[in-house]
Each structure stands twice: as C-alpha cells, then as structure tokens.
Amino acid sequence: MGKIDQKEKAQTVVDLLRKQAPLTVKQEKFCNKACVERFLKAKNDTVKKAAKQLRNCLSWRDSIGTDHLIADEFSAELADGLAYVAGHDGESRPVMIFRIKQDYLKFHSQKQFTRLLVFTLEVATQTMSKNVEQFVLLFDASFFRSAPAFMNMLLATLKIIGDYYPGRLHKAFVIDPPSLFSYLWKGVKPFVELSPFTTVISSLDFEESLEFDDFTSYPRAASLRFDPSNVPGSAKIGSCSSSRFSFTVSHHNDSLKPWHLSFTDTSGSKVGSKTSSEALLGPAISPLNARSHSFASPSARSSHGNLRTIKKGFFPSTPLPQKTQKMDSSMINLPRTPGPSFLQSSTLFFKKDCQVNKATKCRESFIPYLKFYRRPYDEMIYRSKMRPPLGGLISIISPQLKRRHMSVSQRF
C-alpha cells in the first residue's frame, strides 16, 4: 500500500505541474518518478509543497541554462582542477572534490561560480549508475585564509544542493578550514538544512596513514628520491657504513671538470688511529662533521682534557650560607585537594566520552574517501567521464565524422 500511495502522490505532483504550465520535453524527462519521489521525501510527502519546490527548480534550471552547459566554458577551471569528479566509492556514489581558491571568488562573479558548481553536479549525476541517487562532496578549504569567505561559499553550495538537488547529498566533508571557521560553523549550523550531512575534518589526523599508498600507479605522483640500494656495488668503503659524499677539487688543467665526487669519509674521528693530541683535544673538525659539532651542546664540543676545569668552574667560588632554621613539616600549608563531586564527574565523563566517540566516527567515515583526496588530478580522466553535451564539442563530434572529414580534405 505504501508504494501505491507513493506512486499516486508522484503522479499528482506531475499533474499539478502540468496544470500550472505545460512542460517541455526536457522538463518531462527531468520530472521522472525517482526525481518526484526525492522532492516528496524532502517535503515530508506533502504534494503541494513538493510541486511548488519542483516548479521553482525547473525555473531555476532554465535561468541557469543547465541544458547549455559545456566543458568549453570552464577550460581554465578544468585545467587547474578546481572542481571535478574524482571517482566512485564502494557503493558507486560519485565523489566530487572542490579545490576553489580564495582569489577565484575575487576575479569571478557569483553567477560564474554557480555555473561551475552546477556543471560539476550535472557531470556527477550523469556518471551515476541506475540504482544510485546520491553523491559525496569533499571541500578542500586549505586554499582559503578568510573564514567568512569560505563560509559564504559553503553555505551557497549547500543551499543550491538542498533546494534544487534534494536527497542527493550523502556526505559532505570540509577539509582543513581556516582557524575561525569552527566558531562560525557552530553559530550557523542549526539553520543549515544539510548540516547533519556535513563534517569538518583535519588532514593532520591522517598524515601517518599508509593504508592508501597507491600513488605509484600515477606517474606524476611517483617518488623521485635517491635510493642508495640502486647504486651498483654494495661493498662498504673503509670503516664508514654511511654513504656520505666528499667534495674534492682537483688541481689538474682540465677546466671543464675541476671536481669529482668520492664516497670516502675524511673525518678524523673514523679514519686512522687517534694521536695523543687528538686524545686530549678531541677529533679534528672536518667539513663532514662540522655541522654535527655546530649543533652539539657546549659540553660535547669541548675537549675531554678540559673536563676537570669545567667541573671545577661549574660550582661557585663563594660558599653558600648554611641553613640556620629547620622548618617543621606541620607548618607547611599545602593546597587542599577538592573532594570528588559524583554528579559533576559523571557528567564530564559522559560528555568527554561522547566527544571522543563523535570524533572517532567522523574520522572513520572519512577514511574511505581519503584516497580520492590524495589522488592527483588528471584532466583527461575527468573529461572522459563527461557525456554529450557536457563534454563540449570534442565529445559531440564522433570519430567517424573526423575520419570522413580528413578523407575529404586529403582529396583536394
């Protein structure tokens, strides 16, 4: 009975829309069964409210021109990776990443940002499979210095999604916001419709996480650090086990290569036997151990022979006065330890426990999306997910037409 009532309500909403104004072919296609049911669920199955919100959504889409959005309009944004679909999670939900910079809002109008947002949302909805209706948002706020500026952008984004994409948001993560954002968010949070789905995350909590170390598959993210194991010849040179380089200038007549590198360690502390002067004055300072001596403590830099003079000069020459009075331990007033309050301690305990559990849940909910956040952006992979007409002219022109055009031009 519930499914039949839901179908009847959805059909009633469509009939109300047709009575108000005739629907175009694209509007009829947009107002399918799943779409109308999402609007009904957002308005607690109230037919009139759902029909009104759906009519406002159709008017807004016409004003934005969602049917005419193409990738060629956002070529600079796509090249910089400001907003894109990074992939799909374990339940085939598209994951969008927004790395909008603070300077972008200075040189672009609010309408341009809204068009970029709607274009990214439309690409995400196109990549959804048949039984998937929701997406995930990742807001990288590390490029913002002003908390109010980022707050305005976040609230505008959540309002557009709540009003014109109801039931679509599964989870939204705000990553590394400015320092004052948490205080502003606490004040605004009760008035935001999608605040229960929004979570603030710090990337510092995941710096030591090595669970998603999959960057070797991306050439631009591969590590180029020097690996000493790749050097041919693994025999140790001399008594030194570390691979230090020593810089030697040759006095030959070759002006093109007046220098060469060697693996020898020239520090006097490791090569050769210690002489009597070295035993008294310590190892000689070489270019290899000069840095370590510069950061050492004064006692480590000093010679072993002067240890007695240091100990002797450490104590003051004038003797300290002897104690003439003996303090009674009963006369010392120590600070009084407050007695335990069972009511206060229990409330603080449960409050702290709830905060720890909430922080742990937020962290665990972000772990499946950490790989998308760390994965490097690739414009070609993102463009391959776009379907016509969002992909631009490149996705509209078929390869057959390209070959035919080339064959005709070659005739002349």
Q: β-strand 259-262 against 94-98: which pairing, if any?
A: unpaired
Average pLDDT (11-27) is: 91
Q: Which two tokens stand for residue 409?
A: 């031009």
> Residue 216 — pLDDT band, cuts 50, 70, 90?
very low
Residue 361 has pLDDT above 90, yes or no: no
Note the pLDDT tens digit of each residue in 87-126: 999 999 999 999 999 999 889 999 999 999 999 999 999 9
Is the domain of 122 the same as that of 35?
A: no
CA gap 8, 105 in Å, rounded:
45
Domain membership flag for residue 181: yes
- Domain housing 194: 67-213+367-389
Is the domain of 38 the same as that of 85?
A: no
| Residue that is last in its domain, among 64, 81, 107 | 64
Note the pLDDT tens digit of each residue in 308-345: 444 444 444 555 555 555 555 566 565 555 555 544 44
| Residue that is last in its domain, among 10, 41, 64 | 64
Residue 4 has pLDDT above 80, yes or no: no
Residue with tokens 């972008």: 104
Domain membership flag for residue 296: no
Note the pLDDT tens digit of each residue in 228-254: 455 455 444 444 444 444 445 555 544
- Three-state DSSP string of the chain: CHHHHHHHHHHHHHHHHHHHCCCCHHHHHHCCHHHHHHHHHHCCCCHHHHHHHHHHHHHHHHHHCHHHCCHHHHHHHHHHCCEEEEEECCCCCEEEEECCCHHHHHHCCHHHHHHHHHHHHHHHHHCCCCCCCCEEEEEEHHHCCCHHHHHHHHHHHHHHHHHHCCCCEEEEEEECCCCCHHHHHHHHHHHCCCHHHEEEECHHHHCCCCCCCCHHHCHHHCCCCCCHHHCCCCCCCCCCCCCCCEEEECCCCCCCCCEEEECCCCCCCCCCCCCHHHHHHCCCCCCCCHHHHHCCCHHHHCCCCCHHHHHHHHCCCCCCCCCCCCCCHHHCCCCCCCCCCHHHHHHHHHHHHHHHHHHHHHHHHHHHHHHHHHCCCCHHHHHHCCCCCCCCHHHHCCHHHHHHHHHHHHHC
Is the domain of 10 the same as that of 32?
A: yes
CA gap 182, 200 in Å, rounded:
8
Q: Which of 25, 32, 116, 20 is nearest to 66 (CA)?
A: 116
Is the domain of 79 the same as that of 13?
A: no
Distances (CA, A) of 302 to 161, 267, 273, 274, 307: 68, 17, 20, 17, 8
> Could you tell me the CATH number of the domain that includes residue 156?
3.40.525.10
Is the domain of 154 the same as that of 83?
A: yes
Is the domain of 148 the same as that of 183?
A: yes
Domain membership flag for residue 151: yes
Q: Give the pLDDT of residue 325.
A: 57
Determine the longest span between alpha carbons in the chain, in angstroms: 117
Is the domain of 28 the same as that of 119?
A: no
φ, ψ at 241 (rounded to 5°):
-95, -10
Is the domain of 99 the same as that of 25?
A: no
Is the domain of 83 the same as that of 177?
A: yes
Domain membership flag for residue 26: yes
Q: β-strand 246-249 against 198-201: which pairing, if any?
A: unpaired
CA gap 273, 275 in Å, rounded:
6
Note the pLDDT tens digit of each residue in 119-178: 999 999 999 998 899 999 999 999 999 999 999 999 999 999 999 999 999 999 999 999
Domain membership flag for residue 154: yes
Is the domain of 71 the same as that of 190?
A: yes
Domain membership flag for residue 41: yes
Average pLDDT (35-48) is: 93
Is the domain of 176 the same as that of 161?
A: yes
Domain membership flag for residue 384: yes
Is the domain of 181 the same as that of 46?
A: no
Domain membership flag for residue 241: no
Report pTM.
0.63
Note the pLDDT tens digit of each residue in 264-282: 444 444 444 445 444 445 5
- What domain count does the chain have? 2
State the CB neighbour count (10 A cutoff) for residue 141: 23
| Residue that is last in its domain, among 13, 37, 64 | 64
